[in-house]
Amino acid sequence: MLNLGLDILGLARFQFGMTTVFHFFFVPFSIGLAFVVAVMETMYAIKGDEDYKKMAQFWGKMFLYSFAVGVVTGIIQEFQFGMNWSEYSRFMGDIFGAPLAIEALAAFFLESTFIGMWMFTWDRFNKWVHTLFIWLVMFGSSLSALWILAANSFMQNPLGYIINQKTGHVQMVSFGKVIGNPQLWNEFPHVIFGAFVTAAFVIAGCSAWRLLKKDHVGFYRKSLNVALVIGLIFSLGSIASGDLQTRYLINNQPMKFAAMEGLYKNSTNKGEWAAVSGFDTKQHKTTWSVDVPYVLNLLSYHKTTGTVKGMNQVNKDMHAKYDKKFGSDMNYYVPTKTLFWSFRIMAGAGALFALLAIVGLIFNRKRSQLIMKQRWFLYILGLCLWLPFVVNTAGWFVTEFGRYPWIVYGLLTIADAVSPNVSVASLLTTNIVYFAMFAIMGLIMIILCHRTLKAGPDVENTDGYAAGDTKELDPYSKGAFNHD
C-alpha cells in the first residue's frame, strides 16, 4: 500500500484538533449570542422599546444557525473519545465520564428544550416569561462549558484521584476536588468572557458593515452600542482572567508557560520579556529577540523581581520526575513557536478589543454623528468580526499543544491513549469526510449570516409556531376530529 507516512496517532490527533477547533467556532459564538440576545430582550422587557425586540429577533437568527451547527458537531466530540481514543476512555472513564454525562443531563436538556420554546413562542407568552427562556438557554450553555472544562481541567491538572493498582486506571476519590480544581476556576471565566467578546465583536462588526452602507442607521447604531458595552466589559474581564490563568501555569505547567514566553534558558532577575523572537527548536535556543526589561516579572508575578524557569531546565526536571515510569526517551518540549505566537495573538487581540470598544463607544455617543464620519473606524470594526474566531483558536492551541506529550498531565501520554484497533484507512476516510462536511457547513453559515444581514431587521420572523398560514387547532375541539 502507498505509504504516506501517516499513522494512527497523527491522524487521530489531527482529527481531534480539526473537530474541536471547528466545534469551538460555534460554541463561544452561541454562548455569547445567547447572552447578548438575552440582554437585548431584557431591555425590551424593561423599556418596552420595540427596537430591542427587533434586535433580539434579528441577532437571534444568527444564534439559531450557530446553535444548530454547534449541536451536531458536538456529537462528534462525544463519540470521538470512544472511537479514536478507546485507551484513554478506559483509563479515564472513572473521572471523565461523569462530567460528560452531567453536562448532557443538566445542561443540554435545558438548552435544547428552552431554545425550542424561545424560537416558537414569541406570540404566546408574556415578554418576561419569554425573556426567561433565553436566559435559561444562556444558563444551560454556560453550564455545559463548566462541565466540559471540568473534564479538561483534570487533563491539565489531575486532582482528586488515585491510580487503581489492579487496573492501572485512574479512579475518582473526591468529586469535590475534581470540580474544585483551581485550573477549572481559572479557565471557566476566561472561556465564558471570551465567548461574550466573540459575540459582541461579531455583532459590532456586522453593524459596522451596515452602517458603512447607511442602512437602518438607528437600528445598527443601537446594536453597536449594546455590543460594544458588552465587548468592553468582557474584554477587560478576559484580560484579567487570562492573567490569572497564565500565572497559575508558572508552577503548575512550567513547560507551557516557558514556551508561551519563548524562554529556553532560565530568566534573569531583570525579567527580560521577548516581545517577538526567533527560535531554533532543534537546538533548543532562541536565535534572536526584541527584549523589554522587567515586563516578564510584571506579567508573571506583578512585581519587578523574580525568575522564571526556562524550557531546558523544565525538561531536565521532568526527566528526573518521570523517567522511572515513562522511560528516558520522552520528549517534553512542546511546540514552542505555536505557543509563543498563539499567546501573542491572544493577548494582543484582547487589548485591541478593549481599545476598539472604548473608541467605538466615544464615537457612537447618542447625539454625536462621529461614528458615521469616521469610516476608517467602521472598516476596522468590520474586519475585526473575524478576529475572535482566530483568538479562540489560538487560546486552545496554547492550552492543548502546551500539555504535550501528555493527554492527562503526568499520568498518560497521548501516544498511549489512541484506539489500537482503528485502521489508518478508517481514520483517513473520516478525516476527509469531516473536513468536507465542515467546509460545507462553515460556508453555509457564512452565507446565511450574510444573507440575514442583507435582508435586514424588518423581515418578519417566520419561525413562529403560529406564524403564517399554518393555523393551530385545539385537538379537543370538534373540528379537529372531523375528516373534511
- Distance (Å, rounded) from C-alpha 2 to C-alpha 9? 18
Q: What's the Cα-to-Cα distance from 38 to each of 16, 57, 63, 110, 445, rounded to whole Å?
A: 32, 10, 11, 15, 22
Using the rule CB under 8 A, is 87 a contact of another protein? yes
Q: Residue 465 Cβ, how far from another protein at the closest point, in Å? A: 7
Per CB under 8 A, contacts with another protein among 117-146 are 117, 119-121, 124
Indicate the residue among 192 and 427 with the shorter CB distance to another protein. Answer: 427
Task: Write out the binding residues for another protein, residues 414-473 only, by CB under 8 A.
Answer: 419-422, 426, 429-430, 433, 437, 441, 444, 448, 451-452, 462-463, 465, 468-473
Least distance (Å) from another protein to the CB of residue 299?
A: 38
CB nearer to another protein: pick between 113 and 313: 113
Residues 273-332 contacting another protein, CB under 8 A: none
**From 103, 187, 261, 400, residue interacting with another protein (rule: CB under 8 A):** 103
Eight-class DSSP state of 304: S
In the bound state with another protein, the residue whose beta carbon lies nearer, of 293 and 456, is 456
Among 9, 21, 110, 372, binds another protein (CB under 8 A): 110
Cis peptide before 405 (omega within 30 of 0): yes
Neighbours of 158 (CB within 10 A): 22
| Among 111-119, 225-233, 242-250, 356-364, the segment contacting another protein (CB under 8 A) | 111-119
Q: One symbol per residue from 380 to 419: x for binding another protein (CB under 8 A), - otherwise; what is it?
A: ---------------------------------------x
51 sits near another protein (criterion: CB under 8 A): no
In the complex, minimum distance from the CB of residue 387 to another protein, in angstroms, rounded to a whole number: 25
* Interface with another protein (CB under 8 A), residue from 7, 10, 46, 105: 105
Minimum distance of another protein from residue 399's CB (angstroms): 22
Please name every residue paired with 288 in a beta bridge, in sequence order, or none if there are none.
Answer: 278
Given a contact cutoff of 8 angstroms between Cβ atoms, the answer to whether 98 and 121 are in contact is: no
Pick from 350, 361, 423: which is nearest to 390 by CA?
350
Residues 6+ apart with CB under 8 A from 212: 375, 378, 379, 382
Which of 6, 21, 106, 212 lies at the binding interface for another protein (CB under 8 A)?
106
At which residue does the C-alpha cell 450553555 appear? 141
Site string for another protein, 56-75 (x = CB under 8 A): --------xx--xx-xxxxx
User: Which residue in 6, 18, 51, 108 binds another protein (CB under 8 A)?
Assistant: 108
Which of 7, 46, 47, 79 lies at the binding interface for another protein (CB under 8 A)?
79
Which residues 174-213 are close enough to bind another protein by CB under 8 A? 175
- Nearer to another protein among residue 140 and residue 242 (C-beta): 140
Smaller CB separation from another protein, 329 or 484:
484
Binding flag, residue 15, another protein (CB under 8 A): no
User: In angstroms, what is the minimal distance from the CB of 350 to another protein?
Assistant: 32
Please state the closest distance from residue 192 (CB atom) to another protein, in A: 21
Residues 21, 3: Cα–Cα separation, whole Å: 28
CA-based R_g, the chain, Å: 25
What are the Cα distances from residue 340, in Å, to 32, 264, 289, 343, 411?
27, 12, 12, 5, 25
- Kindly write down the DSSP assignment for every residue of 136-181, as one continuous string: HHHHHHHHHHHHHHHHHHHHHS--SEEE-TTT--EEES-HHHHHT-
Helix 424-455 / helix 8-47 crossing angle, nearest 10 deg: 20
Q: Does 362 bind another protein (CB under 8 A)?
A: no
Burial class (CB in 10 A: 0-12, 13-18, 19+), 342: buried
Residue closer to another protein (CB basis): 68 or 217: 68
Residue 29 CA to residue 393 CA, distance in Å, equals 12
Contact indicator for 41, 8 with CB cutoff of 8 Å: no
> Rounded distance, CA 325 to CA 327, Å?
6
Nearer to another protein, 64 or 352 (CB): 64
Nearer to another protein, 134 or 296 (CB): 134
Options 76, 224, 345, 347; binder of another protein; rule CB under 8 A: 76
Contact 7, 424 (CB under 8 A): yes
